[in-house]
Structure 1
Amino acid sequence: MVNYCGHTFTIWIFNGRTAFHIGRQGLYYRYIAIAVVWIDMILGLFIVYALNKLLKLIDTNEIFSDRTLNIMNRIQKLTLTIAVVTIGLMPFFFTIGQLDDAPGLVLFGAGIVFIPFSIYSRCCVKRNTQ
């Protein structure tokens, strides 16, 4: 049932049909949210590629080389970029939360936005402790 509801909500967002009237401004927020998701996915693929290169270096016992540090710096910068880009989801969650009178949805959106920031801060702390 939950899967059906989530799938239906996704179809409503992408097809322009919603359970409530958003208006023209809400359409712009929807397009921004879709663009943010796509940008995050593309940057995530770059991170997966960098992690694959890092695993190949680990496999060949070159873990303590300069190439490994360059890859880790690239992963850290990509994670920060994802965190900054994900802030673009907040207007979407705020608009939907206001229209549906659901402040919990705004908090849910804030949680989604702060996940990449927590990953970035974890990478910074891990790098500085070594």
Structure 2
Amino acid sequence: MKRGSTLFLKVAVILMGIPVLALCVFFVPNIAEFAAELYPDHGYLRYLVLIDLYAAAIPFYIALYQAFRLLVLIDRNLAFSDVAVRALRNIKFCGMAICLIYIIGLPLLYLIAEKDDAPGLIVIGMVIAFASIVVSVFAAVLQKLLKEAIHIKTENDLTV
């Protein structure tokens, strides 16, 4: 693979992280404050919203790091290695973790959406959960294919 295409993908991975970082810094605290304003008797909702959204950002950044690492392996012609399989496995687990975190957080989104009369908020949470599980399944398929390719390559190397 040409270095230019992996460079483009590396830049894309970095650019995917910047908006999420901006959301975490500027938007998430506002959502937590808004939840606390909607339910003044339940001030702990602020912290639950913060924990839920920041907890989802952690596996997202781990997955971005693993994707960047996978691109570095491709640049070094080590795409067919156990390290690449582990990176795909980590991406798979991160996708599952994000999905699980958002599913656990859906009741919080439901409370906010019901009080604010914004049913689209629940749909956004479900879309994020669905997208992360799609990424997880895709990473699992790539992991399986890569394992089989490594196995075939090993057999071919031993045949000679």
5+ residue gaps, structure 1, are 1-7
Cα distance in 1, alignment partners of residues 27 and 58 from structure 2: 23
User: Is the 2:85–2:143 contact (alpha carbons within 8 Å) kept by the matching residues of 1?
Assistant: no
Q: Which has the higher contact order (CA 8 A, sep 6+)?
A: 1
Aligned to 2:108, which of 85, 92, 103?
Answer: 92
Decide whether aligned partners of structure 1 residues 55 and 34 sit closer, same or farther in structure 2, where only a CA change above 3 A counts: same
Correspondence 1:48 to 2:64: yes
Output the TM-score relative to the length of structure 1.
0.71
Aligned-residue offset at 1:33: 2.0
What's the counterpart of residue 35 of structure 1?
51
Cα root mean square deviation, aligned: 3.0
Decide whether aligned partners of structure 1 residues 73 and 99 sit closer, same or farther in structure 2, where only a CA change above 3 A counts: same
Output the TM-score relative to the length of structure 2.
0.60
Aligned residues: 122
What's the counterpart of residue 40 of structure 2?
23
Greater Cα offset, 112-121 or 75-84? 112-121
Structure 1 residue identity aligned to 2:31: I
Structure 2 residue identity aligned to 1:24: D
Aligned to 2:91, which of 72, 75, 79?
Answer: 75
What's the counterpart of residue 13 of structure 1?
31
User: Is the 1:47–1:78 contact (alpha carbons within 8 Å) kept by the matching residues of 2?
Assistant: yes
3-state DSSP class of the match of 1:24?
Answer: coil
Decide whether aligned partners of structure 1 residues 113 and 126 sit closer, same or farther in structure 2, where only a CA change above 3 A counts: same
What's the counterpart of residue 4 of structure 1?
none
User: Is the 2:56–2:102 contact (alpha carbons within 8 Å) kept by the matching residues of 1?
Assistant: yes
5+ residue gaps, structure 2, are 1-25, 147-160
